[in-house]
Homo-oligomer: A and B are copies of this chain.
Amino acid sequence: MELGKLVRVCGQLGRRHVSSSRVHEHRGPFAMLSDVDVATFERLLGSSAVLTEPADMEAFNVDWLRTCRGSGAAVLLPRSTEEVSAVLSHCHGRRLAVCPQGGNTGLVGGSVPVFDELILSTARMNKVNTIDPLSGAVSCDAGCVLEALDTQVGEKAALMVPLDLGAKGSCHIGGNVATNAGGLRLLRYGPLHGSVLGLEVVLADGTVLDTVQTLRKDNTGLDLKQLFIGSEGILGVITRVAIQCVPRPCSTCVAFLGCPSFESTLQTFQAARHQFPEFLSSFEVMDAESMRCVRDNLHLRLPLDGEHPFYLLIEVAGSNEDALEESLLRFLDKCMSQSHISDGTMAKDSARVKELWRLRESIGEALRHDGYVYKYDISVPLATYMDVVALIREQVRGTSAIRVCGFGHMGDSNLHLNITAAGWDEALLGRIEPFVYEWTASVRGSISAEHGIGLHKKRFLHLCKTPAALDAMRSLKRAFDPLEILNPYKMLPPSS
């Protein structure tokens, strides 16, 4: 066992790049990559599509947050479904483990190898195949970068991909689907399970499973594509995606508001949901500490006087700018008169809209200025949405913690809880975990709202899944990948 028994994730990537969790794993019973394998891959893909030099592989072996480093023995860069199929067929025959990788922007250590798994990247599979301006159906290769895809469907057909997230400039649509990415527009357009129309997937043994179609309604047998949405690469490699795109809204207005209490943010949300559900595209909340951090660490100026216990960013989007603005103004008047909001500002020109969004979107960057950030991404019932922030403040009192912030996609019940310290501190971590996961499970929340399980959260999965559910997941894994070559060590904890 040359590769050691401990995943090499901790303490070696610099002070700010230390994993929040140590994960102990044994290497599985997989073959080691041989020269013959490399020659086979070079024959199948061409030699430029097979990387084996450590320097060339570095960016593929380390994750985006730099919390884990694998030792992938080779990086394979197929250009077509047929090439993916040929590669997997060979790997299956030899029992070589494979780590499928999209844009490598995942946040839970799911997209890099743990030991020497081969890295199968979709980076060279990036063609948009069809855009139907009439129905909005778009089909493309899995390696299309989300932002590039969105730009293309916008320019060619005034459409928009119903998915938007911070990593859009790097993430692949195939990776988005494989991790069931959520993001900023879910409140309006719903999850990928509703908008993905079809998938082409290569199974562990190289079989191509083609469920690509471009129809909204299709009740012909078990809906196989659904299985692969959010499967994090453990059941198959997604090679093509068909997705229902939406008409691109003509205009957008944003309001940035101060609220006197959490209760008042709830009242404002309820009013917005009922007053203009058809326009509402984002409903984001930030607590005072989050905004203080943005102000102090990034020197951004808040557009409101004084300090407020909570802030809201509300976005509405639609086809008629006047109607949109009028709706939003009427709504804000009403909220002010009912004292749900204390102060606010509104924007409709795109530069000012971006400026307001920047206050929300730069929280992550501002937090990093404190030093190390412990990041949690949970869903909780709205009534208890901010409870955990206060509880964690209590938990970390007297430790090295600098601040505890709560913010997130309130419209989707999705909270980002962040704790900062000058550096990595095991004792502080012990105060946060497993407490935060156990508390979340106790309110029937989700311990991972949109980031997935990957490597980092595997040992907490049992907190929110019954033994019967874990057994069902394992039987699906057995049915689709009996040799367990696809993304081993990820998502599913071993059966006890």
Contacts and interface: CB of A to CB of B under 8 A. Distances in A.
A278 B318 contact: yes
A179 B222 CA distance: 10
Contacts of A447: 220
A274 B187 CA distance: 20
B226 A223 contact: yes
A436 to B, nearest CB: 14
Contact of A216 (B191, B448, B451, B470): B191
A323 B179 CA distance: 39
A476 interface: yes
Interface string A456-470: 010001001110111
A130 to B, nearest CB: 10
Contact of A466 (B209, B217, B468): B209
Contacts of A270: 133-134
A231 B222 contact: yes
A466 B210 CA distance: 7
Contacts of A476: 222, 476, 479
Contacts of A180: 219, 223
Interface stretch (A8-16, A375-383, A399-407): A375-383
Contact of A179 (B182, B219, B383): B219
A352 to B, nearest CB: 22
A155 interface: no
A136 interface: yes
Contacts of A277: 246-247, 249, 319
B217 A446 contact: yes
B491 A221 contact: yes
B414 A216 contact: yes
Contacts of A276: 319-320
A382 B444 contact: no
Nearest to A317: B278
B226 A193 contact: yes
Contacts of A382: 132, 134-135
Contacts of A218: 379, 446, 448-449
A213 interface: yes
A224 B320 CA distance: 40
Contacts of A470: 221
B219 A449 contact: yes
B217 A465 contact: no
Given A194-B195, A383-B134, A219 B230 contact: yes
Contacts of A150: none
Interface in A198-223: 203, 207-211, 213-223
A429 interface: no
A46 interface: no
A478 interface: yes
A412 interface: yes
Contact of A220 (B226, B266, B464): B464
Contact of A215 (B211, B446, B472): B446
Q: Which of A180, A274, A469, A472 has the most CB of B within 10 A?
A: A472
A439 to B, nearest CB: 15
A445 interface: yes
Contacts of A319: 274-278, 327
Contacts of A266: 134
The 3 A-B pairs of least Cβ separation, nearest first, read A194-B194, A226-B226, A218-B446
Given A132-B382, A209-B468, 7 more contacts: A210-B466, A216-B379, A217-B413, A220-B465, A221-B469, A246-B277, A277-B319
24 contacts: A133-B270, A134-B383, A136-B273, A193-B193, A193-B226, A209-B468, A209-B469, A213-B444, A215-B381, A216-B412, A217-B446, A219-B448, A220-B448, A221-B469, A222-B472, A224-B472, A247-B273, A247-B277, A249-B277, A278-B319, A320-B323, A472-B480, A476-B479, A478-B479
